[in-house]
Structure 1
């Protein structure tokens, strides 16, 4: 006699059978419900941005633990780490010249650990680096982000170059995870520590997106005016939403795998 199926398995099976439009609708509804919950639970919504950076740092710590314990960097994308280091370095520079605060300290810590991960992959654990799987051409994202930053950037009173840098790091952050997703797409099997790290990125992206959306709602749209005029305020929100949706599908399969008690995450075709 077959054991009864868990509710989570029944729901996930039903979701898998739905057409793409229904899945997208369910994702939007779930995101709106999570936003509503955060708006009720978290009183100071600025803390969500701090929480996002803290979760990102935790994800990096998971990578450090993986590299130190297992002595392998298999399944990790060096290119994603390099893109992360680039946008963090640019954002850190912007923080120093524009708004020195707690975000500067968090970015400094995250940049330091990211550089250590890059060093380990590039030198100490190079033999286990899956270079053939990490085949995403980063100029496909760096170039367009730079061009977009030249066209659409803040209209504040800061120096023109600093405003370009600010926009560039916002756009690059939104797509920095793409090489890591390509590695997972090529391998189809994601070991636990890498899955934990990417899930942490997904949570961090959602918290950051929630911070901006709720801040706009709290200020009744005045925050958009404070960010400047033109397309820039809208691009900030779009970048946050893009970051969240890029990782949404992976996070779904991660949660499904954890609930099902699977240590190794196996991704079906077309997930990332």
Structure 2
């Protein structure tokens, strides 16, 4: 009985939201976002937990893809190039992490890397006949080269060897835009397979936690954390902008994903 009542209440709430104007829906979305940020700030004292949550959400997204590939025996709708970019930045980050961190982040990144490599293997070899290469048409070097150039110019100011600092910066920049080939493929296909939508939404959730860390940090320090020269303001500003870019890249998709769920179905297509 309790479950039925909860389900009925949720359905009534979703029905009420669907009937509202776009202005009201936008206001509710902003209110929910701000409320979530305030709740996170009050409940989570160690900001490092935001990154753990972000990495865990990314891993869960990969698990969704693994389930899709294993159960449906098709990779339709998936961008091989996005997965390859993900494997690149995760591989470099795991390499650096062994020398810089060596903690829970290293473990999570390693597990996610292995899972991503498995997805790449399935797309390239086992399920190659279902891969729409003509729709996955964004050249990887369009993404990798600018990130590499930016990493050489702006990298963290730490006591580690310069090569590790440059590689770490490269990971940050590449992660911020690695989802672009997937979104481009979705636009080309003009449709979204359900499990792919779940995966991209999981990336959006991961980015929300990373973005929340920086928003709360800027709020707590009145912006000084980004501007203090002694702390390497260019690098901190670059990381913050990378988080902003990645968040806004995924925000539009997540908006339509949630909107479709409120409408009672999984997102099937995106507006141009």
Tell me the TM-score normalised to structure 1 length: 0.87
Q: Cα offset for 1:222?
A: 6.7
CA–CA separation in structure 1 for the residues paired with 2:17 and 2:189: 26
CA–CA separation in structure 2 for the residues paired with 1:213 and 1:112: 31
CA–CA separation in structure 1 for the residues paired with 2:159 and 2:168: 13
Unaligned runs of 5+ in 2: 1-13
From 206, 209, 229, the counterpart of 1:207: 209
**3-state SS of paired residue (2:76):** coil
Unaligned runs of 5+ in 1: none
Equivalent residue, structure 1, for 2:169: 167
**3-state SS of paired residue (2:231):** coil
Structure with the higher fraction of residues in helix conformation:
2
With 196-205 and 226-235 compared, the bigger mean Cα shift is at: 226-235
From 252, 256, 263, the counterpart of 1:253: 256
Q: Cα offset for 1:44?
A: 2.8
1:1-272 matches, within 5 Å, as: 6-11=15-20, 14-15=22-23, 31-218=33-220, 224=226, 228-269=231-272
Q: Deviation per CA, 1:19-72: give whole Å up to 9, x if none.
A: xxxx7x997776444322321233333211101100100000000000001000
Tell me the TM-score normalised to structure 2 length: 0.87
Q: Cα offset for 1:152?
A: 0.7
Q: Cα offset for 1:189?
A: 1.2
Q: Cα offset for 1:223?
A: 5.1
Query: Aligned Cα RMSD in Å?
Result: 2.4
CA–CA separation in structure 1 for the residues paired with 2:268 and 2:230: 40
**3-state SS of paired residue (2:78):** coil
